[in-house]
Amino acid sequence: MKRTYKKEQQTRKHYVLLNDRDVMGVFSTLKKVCEFMSGENFPSYWTLVRKDFDKFEYGNYSLQIIKNN
């Protein structure tokens, strides 16, 4: 099955990182979120990859997945 641009965009996700309802950033991959938070007390990439979530809360931080429609 051939992947088209339209199909690829429909499956695309964005990761929004919040700190007490303040947006810290919007990222294209989970790996970039974890690199951004490397100095903080935040779960590792390998911990988050294993979880199935649309919203993940950790302390004051919230990580949400926004899917393109």
Name the pLDDT band for 40 (thresholds 50, 70, 90). confident
Q: Is the dihedral of CA 16, 11, 7, 27 positive or negative?
A: positive
Contact 29, 15 (CB under 8 A): yes
The whole-number average pLDDT for the span 22-46 is 92
- Percent over 90 (pLDDT), the chain: 54
The Cα-based distances of 46 to 7, 39, 49, 50 in angstroms read 27, 16, 5, 7
Query: Is the pLDDT assigned to residue 55 strictly greater than 80?
Result: yes
